[in-house]
Amino acid sequence: MENNIINNKIKLSKNAFTVLQKRYFKKNCKGKIIENPESLFYRVAKTVASADKIYNSNADIKCLTNEFYVIMASLDFLPNSPTLMNAGSTLQQLSACFVLPIDDSINSIFETLKNTAIIHKSGGGTGFSFSKLRPNQDIVKTTLGVSSGPVSFMQVFNAATEAIKQGGRRRGANMGILRVDHPDILEFIVCKDKNNSLNNFNISVAITNEFMNAVEKNEFYNLYNPRNGKIFNKLNAKEVFDKIVNQAWKNGEPGIIFIDTINNKNPIHNIALVESTNPCGEQPLLPYESCNLGSINLGHFVKNGEIDWIRLEKIIRISVHFLDNVIDVNDYPIKEIEKVTRSNRKIGLGVMGWADLLLHLGIPYGSEKSLILAKKTMQFIQVKSHEFSEELATIRGAFPNFKKSIYSNGKPIRNATTTTIAPTGTIGIIASASSGIEPLFAIVYKRLNCLDGNEEMYEINPIFAKIAKEKEFYSQELIAKIARQGSISEFKEIPNEIREVFITSHDITFLEHVKMQAAFQEFTDNAVSKTINFPNSATNEDVKRAYVLSYKIGCKGITVYRDGSREKQVLNIDNKEKRNKRLNESKPRTRPIKTQGFTFLMRTGCGKMYVTVNEDNRGMCEVFTQLGKSGGCTSSQAEAISRLISLALRSGVDQKEIINQLKGIRCPSPMLVSGGVILSCADAVAKALEFYNNEKTLFLNNKNNLSQYHKKHFKSEGNIDLLGACPQCPECGEMLVFTEGCIFCHGCSYSKCS
């Protein structure tokens, strides 16, 4: 080594070391490994740091190399696989993601095919939109023949990919996209109906806003011939949507991307429109654009039971510097790619170890607390990455297309995008981190085919193992049982507070999966790679609900997978009975001994109602109501409503669905209050739940503001007017009468005016 950077051995798991040996370590001409983890990270750090000389001839490359080495050797940050493999080697291609254009001509198709082969050989993945190709059986004037359509050319690309093994280390991966308004959309939807078809492609339908509106209204929508832009045909949108849903339910494909949502948030949309993404869908790119990615290991940033924001900011800054340097030291496989990439300088800083972070903090994945923390964490990463990109711009200049971007009226920024959530499959193994923002797949599981072979790798979650040993319930017998089951939700020998936190992907409802993706997407420049897991018993309707929800709450795309719907899957648990457990038939979770929450005073036509909303560590779990004296019919109905709500909440029913069912129910005695009208007791409960949901962050972060909150939403009685008659006394249950301009009870002398 050229200096004393490498003093300590990097702590790697056995599986991590195996992956490095198989894929990442340099080998000599005889195939013998000539690297170790320390020298690998040093090679990468030194190469990437050298870019600083471009901007400052006096730059301290040695110091910067040390900075870059430390964040990788500590496994706090890792770049995408091509950078780890190729930086400092004869093959200096460092980007993971590419999108290539395909125009409607044989020359364009096969020029793109040639470029695809070059990229795959260098270790990159490619995305394409086949939407510009004329449909099957359409006329070809030059030959007086007919076109074979997009799907047939996808088969050609698939075959070429099969023949190339990326740099001897990674197999080719493609994303194939077709717009939903292409005439061949029905053929495309089922093109991967058989599991052995187009194995080197992920496929997604590019969904437009026009199409989603037509689905909602059950209307027909237009198909357009890309050859001339004319209307080719019309299809019923709901029927097409159902076909997409049914096929995804069957084997996970096609996925969908919301192409209009993507382009509405494209920072350089006036230069070119996004047509496709990379193979895993997290990186929308312009034609001939590439992007290099890296991920921060969030599980390493917990200190004294809280996120260490100061250290996280430091790693964000170094990571942005690292990724921007990669653009400059990269050897691009095609000149057009180098030109477009350098014009926009997109980078994609993301995260891994999100599930690990939640485990360290004792927060269940999918709970309200986890969603709030997801937004807070990703917003922090996005803001800080933008800030440092702006600092880089003052030294190195903004990206060349800056003046044509949405940033043009603000501070110059070095990179058109800075954040992406990637899947982090193999680098997650190297870092011993949970993958991307995914929940745990299982507490103990076996991993298949992760090294392009049939090897099996068995893993137990290290955080669970540590806690189990500390709390003295660890045993080999227990681990064997968990390995068969995957989830620990039904293991009574494990303390309840542990079972509530160590939940797995199939303990989580699909609604919680989608909401987590949306929480991260809100503060991510590019897109989010996430799988929405379903049990084997999930229905088509479940998949449809996930698709619609993801569109409505701002996701840029969605990929679903129903357990067991393919012959092979990367992660497996042994117990097949687990697959047959229906998600929506789960038993209500156990109420913990202690809950916390708030009580709202709601003024109703039946009197003052006190609504208490409590939560456990997974979110809202119960509701209590108190209305007048016990024993009255109205009081008993209010109690029944609150009991049913509590049961639904602990069974995983979406809070917004509950609110929607109750909100707006009318009784003969509506009440005008400062915030609007309370239409009934049920409406009052719904509005209390809504208040609690809307102000959740305020409650959790600053309880001192509660008094101000109550003043805002619940004014004094002087601001309340009586609108109608009340049929029943809230105090004793007797019928009320309207007399002398007021409501009065003869049973107990209750009066609304006294």
Active site residue 387: no
Residue whose token pair is 């991993």:
447
C-beta atoms surrounding 305 within 10 Å: 8
Residue whose token pair is 């681990």:
479
Q: For residue 318, give the nearest of 24, 72, 40, 53 by alpha carbon.
A: 72
d(CA 87, CA 91): 8
- Cα torsion 434, 330, 52, 295 to 10°: value is -10
Q: For residue 306, give the nearest of 345, 358, 355 by alpha carbon.
A: 358
The interaxial angle of helices 368-396 and 510-521, nearest 10 deg, is 20
DSSP state of 182: S
d(CA 656, CA 679): 18
Distant-in-sequence, close-in-space partners of 702: CB < 8 Å, separation ≥ 6: none
Amino acid at 50: S
Q: Residue 370 in contact with residue 361, Cβ under 8 Å?
A: no
Q: Residue 420 in contact with residue 351, Cβ under 8 Å?
A: no
From 191, 280, 291, 681, the catalytic residue: 280
d(CA 342, CA 3): 32
From 266, 278, 292, 344, the catalytic residue: 278
C-beta atoms surrounding 93 within 10 Å: 25
Bridge partners of 743? 738
Active site residue 304: no
d(CA 351, CA 422): 8
- The separation between the first and the last C-alpha atoms of the chain, rounded to the nearest angstrom, is 88
Q: Residue 158 in contact with residue 174, Cβ under 8 Å?
A: yes
Active site residue 282: yes
Pairing of strands 607-616, 201-207: unpaired
d(CA 722, CA 744): 13
Which helix (H) or strand (E) element contains residue 56?
A: none
DSSP state of 723: -
Here the tokens at position 125 are: 């993945």
Distant-in-sequence, close-in-space partners of 519: CB < 8 Å, separation ≥ 6: 371, 374, 375, 378
CA atoms within 13 A on the CB side of 595: 20
Residue 132 backbone dihedrals phi, psi, to 5 degrees: -85, -10
3-state helix, strand, coil in the chain (%, to 5): 40, 20, 40
Here the tokens at position 553 are: 């709450």
∠ CA 751-752-754, nearest 5°, is: 65
- Distances in whole angstroms, Cα of residue 488 to Cα of each of 96, 353, 503, 563, 568: 36, 20, 7, 18, 24
d(CA 67, CA 5): 10
From 282, 438, 500, 512, the catalytic residue: 282
d(CA 667, CA 569): 54
Report the catalytic residues.
Answer: 278, 280, 282
